[in-house]
Structure 1
């Protein structure tokens, strides 16, 4: 009996040491892709930009200072010490880099690097003498803002700033809705030549001008002769050649449309009308109805 009891004891001991793996359904769910929500109260940055060196950018006769970290996302704005210019301001020596952009776009360009937003400097408007003067004053402001957007577009293309580029395109389109085609062409003429070596920048500008010419062509019933005369062809060979070519293309398209319409009219006239068949009643000899007598 003792031996039998020992065997049972050993048997039970073996069973107690066996580990039974839990079924997959019984396993606790493992957390995946744990994400800590961003702080909602205000923005946070990984590094303080104000501890990085201050870079001075010169546009025309004005100097703009910006922390170096704000320039890091843009390869075209990475300046080495050997390409910096030296100048003395009073008794101190300073370093700066020359930006080759139009002064009208400088504030917007620098402001975007700081904030990622689009902003222009306010020009004091003329004082209206009567209510009739207000539309003219607003038109003057719209022309100025369109010109600024064109120059910002030029700067964004040159220094490869995609976000600023999109904003400039947006505001060019917005202000163009309120301007004449002559004003639009005069502003774009100022930057077109500088973008000849940049394929994407030039192609977008061409498409933009093409769309504006189509709108003007429709609004004037195809009478662009006086508009082109007011624009003053001959001030920019490359751009004026493009404009004239596009205007001629519009007239060719209109001529083709008229020819197609005339061809359809002639084709319709050439179709001989089929005479309607006249049905005659044939009455039986017997029992002829009164209507057939």
Structure 2
């Protein structure tokens, strides 16, 4: 693979992952610009949000001594002690927000130590209407998701890279129907084209042996090739867990080592556990 292809490949891998997200009409996701970059920064890093600092009110330099008051020793309330010792309860659906899903995405500790977070976590609210669709591979599928939490990680060289998403649906039934749509599209779209014109990318799906996770799941190997992007191999994993469809797209250069299956499996298991902890489903 040439040096020019190496620079552009991470942005292309991100584009491919975005094209396989369950977006809906009228709520378009931002599309990445594929352009050459310099050095190891192969993908454009978005700005991160700094945590707000808590400023304490300063105390006076001299504090007058106070006369101590007699105190009584109280026995701890058993209910309070039990509540403090219990794990955090799942977040109720009525109060769940996009931040809850974003905070449940796998974090840096789940990927190799020399990888970067890129792009940073994000959540997009969806409002699908009657007849709205989104494109998955070569088919237009019914738009059902009401939210999408995403994050990405990549090696310092740009590849391999991983894109992770949580597509949120109104119910487990809707999530199951969406997964069935995606599985059918992956089966029907053996070969298809991403984009058009001189920069069109040729793509093809093939079956991928991958352990079952969640309530239902499927996996496919996606190969892509373009005149300026080179050849990529992406392992695409889709897992339904309750009302969420988890997506993992693990990309690598087709001419190099295959995507690390152990890493993909650990991310899949962690994502399911995170959704279980969030929803209690």
TM range (shorter): under 0.3
When normalised by structure 2's length, the TM-score is: 0.22
More helix by share: 1
When normalised by structure 1's length, the TM-score is: 0.21
More strand by share: 2
Which gives a bigger RCO, structure 1 or 2 (Cα 8 Å, sep 6+)? 2
Instruction: Tell which structure's C-alpha radius of gyration is larger.
Output: 1
